[in-house]
Structure 1
């Protein structure tokens, strides 16, 4: 079954989760820190389904490691890879605050431990750190109408041998955009306790098997459509850029109605991906506007000659 048929034939919306205005794909416009400095250049992508998030944070293209086997990466390039950020996590919305738990992450420690105090106006969503350490400005990306699909990955394994290649992760499709996380097949040893991924990469610099396990992880962001497919534009795995994000066929709803199985072939080997459904919504709204109160609308119309003098859509 094609993924399009799955969402239109078996729609189901999560009974609870984040408010509608938080759904979709946001790119970070800026982060400003308490020390007065601001970053507007790092690639930061946030995909939000009803009950889980996908996050990708990468340096500019000229500072990323080009596609090559790990064995050909220098020590400096391995350190750059070890500082990439990509994750998927369950999200919980309460009292205008979003928090995360149960993450599947490239990093071994939580780089962003604070919950997010969120407020959206228009296409601009502002996130405050409760500690006052930073404030982030997120912009909802413009999209044609399209489904919202949120599937959390349980595992990806070879059907014949049963060998697990990835455990944990997820897939979010929202209109013109999609993101996917494929977690490591097995957790990394973190002894001695407290070492970060970059520290462990230094310790295991000559251990090819360990490095393969450590970087057996993917977070990718893509653009496209359910009709034409989605092409990767940003990824923790450089070789994935320009490639299809995911095959869109081979899906089947499981008898319990809560799980989805995908059968696919990779280099002639048959694989199974098993997902649990977060939400399957054929026609959600990814509106750029949040609207005015009646009094505010009158004020805006009255003062439009100056208020709207230089306004433009900013994403």
Structure 2
């Protein structure tokens, strides 16, 4: 069954137990990053998809020409420290072979933006919410079963749908990843000929903007194809399975339901004081004459 159709069989997830600030949920594009040395990057393509408990992240220097060794993408558990008001990630699998962004995040939401400050003041990032309302679904991949060999292996990945935005992640086959783990970086593994470019791209993070063709991906050949939403079935209230061909082998992908909301309202504005509201209205001719919503 098509995944969107299967959603009619799912129960809406409770949101009262959310451990993250609600303004973090959704799909975000990085507008800019400014570093402590005064340099600002407004060109690198970065997307952050946030489910209820996990993150999918993709970073490319260019949409379709980023060298294989320079691509970044990962999936990980999202951790919120309520006392310190800090966001961090337990990155369980990574396209690269080391953690490129080790600092936690100090966040400040305003409007449809989230400003992310590194506690060391090394950088500040400006993120923009891409969605306002619609389907919100997060599935966490945990196992792949090869139906031909009757063998299963642990996998990490996930699928996040935010209205018409889709992100999919799938970790490398364990045999490939094991050869990588003895190296400090992806570049070192490639230089030492422990892995080739095709095997490096066995790690997938792909993004589609309109539930159609993939526009951005860590895998060159995935661009222009689609994120497969067919052949899903519901095993129980918390587990979904997808039948899929992987490298010519018939497989089953097992997902845990992380979040499902059929018509979720994503955060695109923040509250302010009564005094500031009066000021905004009083000075709107000057303040808003050249403004627009920037995604």
Regarding TM over 0.5, the answer is yes
The alpha carbon displacement at 1:91 in A equals 0.2
Q: Check if 1:154 corresponds to 2:118.
A: no
Which of 90, 111, 123 is equivalent to 2:100?
111
Q: Check if 1:133 corresponds to 2:122.
A: yes
Q: Check if 1:60 corresponds to 2:67.
A: no
Aligned residues: 289
Q: Check if 1:7 corresponds to 2:10.
A: no
Partner residue in 1 for 2:44: 42
Which of 25, 28, 41 is equivalent to 2:27?
25
Contact 2:169 2:205 in 1 (8 A): yes
Correspondence list, 1:219-298, <5 A: 219-224=205-210, 229-246=211-228, 248-255=229-236, 257-265=237-245, 269-298=249-278
Gap change, CA 1:311 and 1:168, over 3 Å in 2:
same
Aligned partners of 1:251 and 1:51: how far apart in 2?
Answer: 22
Deviates more, 1:269-278 or 1:34-43: 269-278
Aligned partners of 2:247 and 2:155: how far apart in 1?
Answer: 20
**TM-score by structure 2 length?**
0.90
Structure 2: which 5+ runs fail to align? none
Partner residue in 2 for 1:169: 157
**1:270-305 deviation line (CA, Å, top 9, x unaligned):** 321101111111111124222433222111111111
Contact 2:212 2:227 in 1 (8 A): yes
Aligned partners of 2:91 and 2:101: how far apart in 1?
Answer: 14
Contact 1:28 1:45 in 2 (8 A): yes
Contact 1:166 1:183 in 2 (8 A): no
Aligned partners of 2:260 and 2:7: how far apart in 1?
Answer: 5
Structure 1: which 5+ runs fail to align? 65-79
Deviates more, 1:25-34 or 1:151-160: 151-160
Which of 193, 201, 207 is equivalent to 2:190?
201
Gap change, CA 1:177 and 1:138, over 3 Å in 2:
same
**TM-score by structure 1 length?**
0.84
The alpha carbon displacement at 1:214 in A equals 3.3
